[in-house]
Amino acid sequence: MSYDYSENILVQESAGHLLEDELGWRVELAYNTEVLGETGTFGRKSYKEILLVKYLKEALLKLNPWLTPALLEDAIKTFESHMSSASLTQINEEKYRHIRDGIPVKVKKPNGQIEEKKAIVIDFTNTENNDFLAIKEMKIHGDLYRRRTDIVGFVNGIPLLFIELKKNSVDVQNAYTDNYTDYLDTIPHLFYYNAFLMLSNGTEAKVGTLGSKYEFFHEWKRLSEQEEGNVALETMLRGICKKDNFLDLLENFILFDHSDGKTVKILARNHQYLGVNEAVKAYEARKLNNGKLGLFWHTQGSGKSLSMVFYAHLLQEALDSPTIVVMTDRIDLDDQLYAQFSQCADFLRQTPVQAESKENLKALLDGRNANGIIFTTMFKFERGEKALSERRNIVVMADEAHRGQYGFDEKIVVSENKNGEKEARTVIGNARVIHDALPNATFIGFTGTPISAKDRNTREVFGDYIDVYDMTQAVEDGATRPVYYESRVVHLKLDENTLTLIDSTYDILEQQSDAQTIEKSKKMLGQMESVLGADSTIASLCDDIVNHYEKYRANLLTGKAMIVAYSRPIAMKIYRRILEMRPDWTEKIGVVMTGSNNDPEEW
């Protein structure tokens, strides 16, 4: 490829000065100055080499004094080799394990037995015990092509950072489409060990991981949650390439997700990195807050589930063999979150388990002395039980903490029995039941919904906010698509008895569930189905929707709209009513719902 010296030299110089003068990296210019050979500038024997063995050997010997010359060569050979049939992502995942956990080396013991030890390549506990080197304009040759990169960053000789730069007048996406994708084709070995891919034109900057499409590269706009957003390359370099941050991100905020038979490499977004580290600080101060870590509010769509995975990983570093209980208030949410954690089992260094019943939850907790990531719904905890565990290194991570996962006080609830007679019973809030079962546990709440300032219950259980990433920030960062809405009231012509029925139904559902309550709620929900599905109600709703659309929205907005129905039969009623009103809308509207063998044939 031809190289235009004026294209990015100013941006490159600026980045190089920041890395060297402020962030403490050694910065070297390779083009026309590099001398090849073991005693040359970087110890490379040829331009094909991307691993700086000279520095890698120094690090291995310093960090692993037990390595003999023969074992040192074995470690380097293992680190350099890979299966010829492996994909680039598979190679990268294998090398990442070596970087994070150490290179496996077979050592012969005095008694003749062979044991496997790990040769550490990076000192994650002592940042200054590592060598940070950035090389500008480095020549790299492939089998058929020759390329020159803008900046490649090495730690202990390992090429972990790739920076592609453009001049200010060029869209930053061009760095992806014109250069990065070309390098993937022509010099793919450059990315065997890569952790961070940065693209910038100076005023804009994006960071991503190997295998990511451009739309999944994201900005790094803040050095703390209190700062205003700034997408400049300087902010990204300060946020990611500060040595402590670089190693923290490398060790604790990169994972490989294996969902649906595909491998996806994930780097935490800016808000996830900042928020999770704030939550770790909150754990360190837990004794001052009586075991209440606080609330982690990251708005819907911003990756809250992955933030929980990153946090669970870091807790294992902060605690001595902790047991983590991940608690939800719905079975489907429990399944969803459990699946996410299971796909990241390697990153978590253990396989999560899901409590199948109240008895299974008891068995998983009772007598356990260490470790474990256990998933459960809050209804698997029972009132009046003896403590399942009195250990202090148990952390309960409650998802959707704003919904019903609170209440320490006893309440008197009056309801009707099967004979229609009124009877009173004592109900204890969910929080008290769970705290009685795990009296010395530490609690943290995760939510995508802001907690009302008047909501004392949720704060009583979890404490105040640890970190806030609201919708405004998420939209500004591109983490969440903007949502436009207006408040509207549709007059469904419901009478007072109907409104009272609805209120009482939800009052009961809010309380601790038991067999009698469930049967009662089923009966009342059946009544609500008939009320909300009445022909007059459906007609009022559909008339309002269609009229509002045609008069005020048809010529203003494009895209899709969704009507969320109370049930499947009501969804079919709404669909049919709208088609009665507008028969020519057969290609405009449709029903999306689960099916069943028992569904009416006309559905």
Q: What is the pLDDT of residues 257-312, one digit of tens each?
A: 988 788 999 999 999 999 999 998 888 777 666 778 888 888 888 899 999 999 99
Output the average pLDDT for the chain: 85
pLDDT at 125: 95
Does position 409 have pLDDT exceeding 80, yes or no?
no
**Band of residue 2 on the pLDDT scale cut at 50, 70, 90:** very low
Edge-to-edge strand list for the sheet holding 158-165: 26-29, 132-141, 146-155, 158-165, 196-200, 205-208
pLDDT at 594: 83
CB neighbour burial string for 509-532, b if at least 16 within 10 angstroms, e if fewer: eebbeeeebeebbeebeeebeebb
> 329-333, 363-367, 486-490: lowest mean pLDDT where?
486-490
pLDDT at 138: 95
> 10-14, 182-186, 253-257, 551-555: lowest mean pLDDT where?
10-14
pLDDT at 1: 39
Tens digits of residue pLDDT in 221-265: 888 866 666 778 999 999 999 999 999 999 999 999 988 788 999
Does position 535 have pLDDT exceeding 70, yes or no?
yes
pLDDT at 513: 53
> 54-58, 525-529, 580-584: lowest mean pLDDT where?
525-529
340 vs 317, residue with greater confidence: 340
List CB contacts of 141: < 8 A, sequence separation 6 or more: 46, 47, 48, 147, 187
Identify whether the C-beta of residue 304 lies closer than 8 Å to the C-beta of residue 328. no
Identify whether the C-beta of residue 82 lies closer than 8 Å to the C-beta of residue 138. no
CA 457 to chain centre: 27
Identify the residue whose tokens are 């290179």. Answer: 103
Does position 527 have pLDDT exceeding 60, yes or no?
yes
pLDDT at 5: 44
**Band of residue 482 on the pLDDT scale cut at 50, 70, 90:** confident
User: What is the share, in percent, of the chain residues with pLDDT greater than 90?
Assistant: 48
Tens digits of residue pLDDT in 333-365: 888 899 999 999 999 999 999 998 888 888 888
Distance CA 505, CA 6 (A): 70
What mean pLDDT is predicted for residues 542-560? 86
pLDDT at 70: 95
Tens digits of residue pLDDT in 458-474: 667 787 888 888 888 88
**Band of residue 391 on the pLDDT scale cut at 50, 70, 90:** confident
**Band of residue 453 on the pLDDT scale cut at 50, 70, 90:** low
pLDDT at 487: 76
Does position 63 have pLDDT exceeding 90, yes or no?
yes
Distance CA 538, CA 533 (A): 6
Q: What is the CA radius of gyration of the chain?
A: 29
What mean pLDDT is predicted for residues 488-511? 67
- Which of 90-99, 332-341, 491-500, 555-564 has the largest mean confidence? 90-99
**Band of residue 426 on the pLDDT scale cut at 50, 70, 90:** very low
CB burial of residue 477 (10 Å; 0-12, 13-18, 19+): buried
Quote the DSSP letter at residue 218: B
Distance CA 358, CA 253 (A): 34
> 117-131, 210-224, 363-377: lowest mean pLDDT where?
363-377
Tens digits of residue pLDDT in 558-597: 777 889 998 899 999 999 999 999 999 999 999 998 887 8
CB burial of residue 251 (10 Å; 0-12, 13-18, 19+): middle
> 241-245, 416-420, 492-496, 519-523: lowest mean pLDDT where?
519-523
Identify whether the C-beta of residue 508 lies closer than 8 Å to the C-beta of residue 520. yes
pLDDT at 418: 63
Does position 137 have pLDDT exceeding 60, yes or no?
yes
Tens digits of residue pLDDT in 71-87: 999 999 999 998 888 89
pLDDT at 455: 58
pLDDT at 228: 67
Residue 395 β-bridge partners: 324, 442
Half-sphere CA count of 103, side-chain side, radius 13 A: 26
258 vs 369, residue with greater confidence: 258
Identify whether the C-beta of residue 375 lies closer than 8 Å to the C-beta of residue 399. no
pLDDT at 369: 74
CA 151 to chain centre: 29
pLDDT at 308: 94
